[in-house]
């Protein structure tokens, strides 16, 4: 898969990780996705630094969506504002899969968000969203 | 969706109520493929997350502060949403969000409330597996008493009082297997649920 906007994805990952070291970030992403992320550590580091547009190990939108949910959960854990989490999460997804597909996935969050005022509830929602996209 | 329940009242969580909650939760999982878990949700009562494909299980996250009676109501309400086909792929149904006024949400919520009421009283669910306990489900007397706030509260107090007396008088061994005791247990269970969710009453 070719990342459509590597620079914006990198900025979003850095915003969502809020100062966490890249290695800790990658560990947490593997934890959150139950080891189902096909990207190796080095590639994830390069994506986070905006050094590559190629994420060959990812060959399906599902993997990008899992990464999107996991990064937003990380944003919740780092106690970012709900607005930042949502904006940067959208940027990650759109950067990976392009705006049309990202908007489709994002539609539920956009509709649900006005009903969630609490960051912990948002995190629970995102964890459930991630679980839905984990392989059987 | 904006599910409203009466919270902050003393709980009357009998063994019957807890067993009923477990039975309904198992029914949701086995028949409707809804997996339930509990989490501290501060601003909503429950979230139903539907996956992209029908063959994958749906997830129901229920606020850990919800009482057992409230959980029972939420299960029946969620079952009504599913029966009405509101669980579209990748759509999340939020229960109990304050101040949500979207027309489609309000309309779907109203439909689900009506169907939940019919399910609860055994009018819309074959075999009545999702409804109120079978012994009291068709009781016109209970239904009438639960329809009005004052008689609902009075009935609950009377049934709790009878439960106290039942144990204080140490007659439970003699009556434990009687039809009367079973009826009273189920009546208290039904009353406890309608007490926290009066929308289940007429």
* B42–A108 CB contact, under 8 Å: no
Query: According to the model, what pLDDT value does residue B35 have?
Result: 94
Query: According to the model, what pLDDT value does residue B201 have?
Result: 92
Instruction: Put the strands of the sheet holding B34-39 in their side by side order.
Output: B34-39, B58-63, B46-49, B92-95
Query: According to the model, what pLDDT value does residue A76 have?
Result: 94
Give the residue on B whose Cα is nearest the Cα of A129.
B49
Query: According to the model, what pLDDT value does residue A56 have?
Result: 65
Query: Mean pLDDT over residues B66-95, rounded?
Result: 92
* A125–B90 CB contact, under 8 Å: no
Query: According to the model, what pLDDT value does residue A72 have?
Result: 94
Query: Mean pLDDT over residues B174-190, rounded?
Result: 88
Query: According to the model, what pLDDT value does residue B58 have?
Result: 92
Tell whether B78 is within 8 A of chain A (Cβ). Answer: no
Compare B144 and B4 and report the one with higher pLDDT: B144
* A121–B41 CB contact, under 8 Å: yes
> Which residues, other chains included, contact B152 with Cβ-Cβ below 8 Å and sequence gap of 6+?
B145, B146, B191, B194, B195, B198, B201
pTM for the full predicted model? 0.85
User: What is the number of CB-based contacts under 8 A between chain A and chain B?
Assistant: 57
* A116–B56 CB contact, under 8 Å: no
Token code pair at residue B193:
């649920």
Token code pair at residue A77:
């854990």
- Pair A16, A123: CB distance under 8 Å: no
Query: According to the model, what pLDDT value does residue B126 have?
Result: 64
* Confidence band of B4 (pLDDT split at 50, 70, 90): low
* Confidence band of A122 (pLDDT split at 50, 70, 90): very high
Tell whether B34 is within 8 A of chain A (Cβ). Answer: no
- Pair B69, B20: CB distance under 8 Å: no
Q: Which tens digits make up the pLDDT trace of B114-168?
A: 999 999 998 886 666 788 888 888 899 999 999 999 999 999 999 999 888 888 8
Q: Which tens digits make up the pLDDT trace of A67-106?
A: 899 999 999 999 999 889 989 999 988 888 888 888 888 8
* B41–A118 CB contact, under 8 Å: yes
* A115–B44 CB contact, under 8 Å: yes
Query: According to the model, what pLDDT value does residue B10 have?
Result: 47
Tell whether B42 is within 8 A of chain A (Cβ). Answer: yes
Q: Which tens digits make up the pLDDT trace of B10-57?
A: 455 688 899 999 999 999 999 999 999 999 998 899 999 998 888 889
Question: Which ipTM score applies to this complex?
Answer: 0.80
| Whether pLDDT at A18 is above 80 | yes
Q: Which tens digits make up the pLDDT trace of A24-75?
A: 999 999 999 998 888 888 888 888 888 877 766 666 778 888 889 999 999 9
3-state class of A116 per DSSP? coil
Instruction: Identify which of B39, B50, B52 has the shortest CB distance to residue A124.
Output: B39
Query: Which residue has 């900025």 as its token pair?
Result: A11
- Smallest CA–CA distance, residue A107 to chain B, in Å, is 9
Tell whether B19 is within 8 A of chain A (Cβ). Answer: no
| Whether pLDDT at B172 is above 80 | no
């Amino acid at each position: 898969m070719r990342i459509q906007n590597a620079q914006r994805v990198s900025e979003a990952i850095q915003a969502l990780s809020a100062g966490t070291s890249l290695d800790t970030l990658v560990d947490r992403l593997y934890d959150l996705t139950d080891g189902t992320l096909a990207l190796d550590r080095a590639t994830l580091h390069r994506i986070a630094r905006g050094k590559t547009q190629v994420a060959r190990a990812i060959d399906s939108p599902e993997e990008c969506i899992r990464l999107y949910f996991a990064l937003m959960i990380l944003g919740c854990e780092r106690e970012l504002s709900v607005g930042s989490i949502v904006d940067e999460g959208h940027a990650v997804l759109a950067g990976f899969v392009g705006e049309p597909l990202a908007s489709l996935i994002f539609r539920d969050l956009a509709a649900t968000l006005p009903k969630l005022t609490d960051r912990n509830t948002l995190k629970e929602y995102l964890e459930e969203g991630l679980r839905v996209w984990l392989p059987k | 969706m904006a599910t409203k329940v009466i919270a902050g009242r003393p709980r009357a969580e009998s063994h019957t109520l807890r067993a009923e909650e477990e039975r309904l939760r198992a029914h949701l999982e086995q028949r409707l493929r809804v997996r339930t878990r509990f989490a501290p949700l501060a601003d909503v009562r429950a979230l139903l997350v539907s996956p992209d494909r029908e063959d994958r299980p749906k997830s129901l996250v229920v606020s850990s502060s919800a009482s057992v009676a409230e959980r029972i109501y939420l299960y029946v309400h969620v079952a009504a949403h599913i029966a009405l086909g509101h669980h579209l792929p990748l759509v999340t149904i939020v229960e109990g969000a304050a101040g949500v006024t979207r027309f489609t949400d309000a309309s779907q919520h109203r439909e689900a409330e009506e169907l939940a009421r019919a399910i609860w009283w055994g009018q819309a669910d074959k075999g009545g597996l999702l409804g109120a306990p079978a012994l009291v489900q068709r009781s016109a007397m209970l239904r009438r008493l639960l329809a009005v706030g004052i008689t609902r509260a009075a009935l609950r107090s009377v049934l709790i009082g009878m439960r106290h007396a039942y144990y204080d008088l140490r007659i439970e061994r003699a009556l434990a297997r009687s039809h009367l005791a079973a009826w009273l247990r189920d009546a208290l269970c039904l009353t406890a649920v309608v007490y926290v969710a009066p929308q289940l009453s007429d």
